[in-house]
Structure 1
Amino acid sequence: MPRPKSDFDQLHPCDFYTAEELLEPDRMYTVYEIARLLQELDPDAELEAQTEDILLDWAIPWVMTNAADLVIAEPEADDEPGYYGLKTDGE
């Protein structure tokens, strides 16, 4: 159920990193690693499954919003995630 804005102590702008600000141009990342980076965590940080699910709620829309600036690589196996990277010249 929607809540009134007055229920919250603080409201923050909904600013996201651009793909260029977040990703290294010579690296490919899973959506799980992107989720961590969006929260300024190490891409290999250990997280509880519930926390990771919450972070994915932010990462998936970020990938969709920044899709024009990304390239995609297939996963190594059917049960693994794909990889996303920063689109560079010629890609």
Structure 2
Amino acid sequence: MPEPKSTFDATYPCEFYEPAELFEPDLLYTIPEIARLLQGLEPDARVDPDTEAVLIDWAIPWVMTHAEDIVIAEPLEEDGPGYYGVAEHAVDEDVEECDGDDASDGDA
């Protein structure tokens, strides 16, 4: 059931990382690891199962939304998890954006 905003003490901006900001370029991660990273935790941080379920609920749509900037690897074992990482073009785009920002700062 929807709740009025006045029910809550505070609201916050809904800001998410871009894959190039979240992932190390040479690593691949499972969905639970991505879920932890999105919360600012280490990929191997211990979280209770209920919390992990909530974090995964956030991570799956994030992966789907950023699919064009993510690569996928087959599971290492037949019944193992899939692995996801940042696509090379997304890292290159992030570097180009930073270079563009630096160039504009120097012109001021």
TM-score of the aligned structures, taking structure 2 as reference length: 0.79
Q: Secondary structure at the match of 1:71?
A: strand
**For residue 105 of structure 2, what is the aligned residue in structure 1?**
none
**For residue 39 of structure 1, what is the aligned residue in structure 2?**
39
Alignment length (residue pairs): 89
Higher relative CO (Cα under 8 Å, sequence separation at least 6) belongs to: 1
RMSD after superposition: 0.9
**For residue 11 of structure 1, what is the aligned residue in structure 2?**
11
1:84 Cα offset (Å): 0.2
**For residue 48 of structure 1, what is the aligned residue in structure 2?**
48
| Cα distance in structure 2, aligned partners of 1:51 and 1:63 | 18
Structure 1 position 70 matched with structure 2 position 43: no
| Cα distance in structure 2, aligned partners of 1:81 and 1:6 | 41
| Cα distance in structure 2, aligned partners of 1:50 and 1:80 | 21
More helix by share: 2
TM-score of the aligned structures, taking structure 1 as reference length: 0.93
Deviating above 6 A after TM superposition, structure 1's stretches of 4 or more consecutive aligned residues are none
CA deviation vs aligned residue, 1:5-40 (integer Å, no higher than 9, x gap): 110111111110000110011000001100000011
Amino acid of the residue matched to residue 21 of structure 2?
Answer: E
| Structure 1: 5+ residue stretches without partners | none
1:80 Cα offset (Å): 1.8
1:62 Cα offset (Å): 0.7
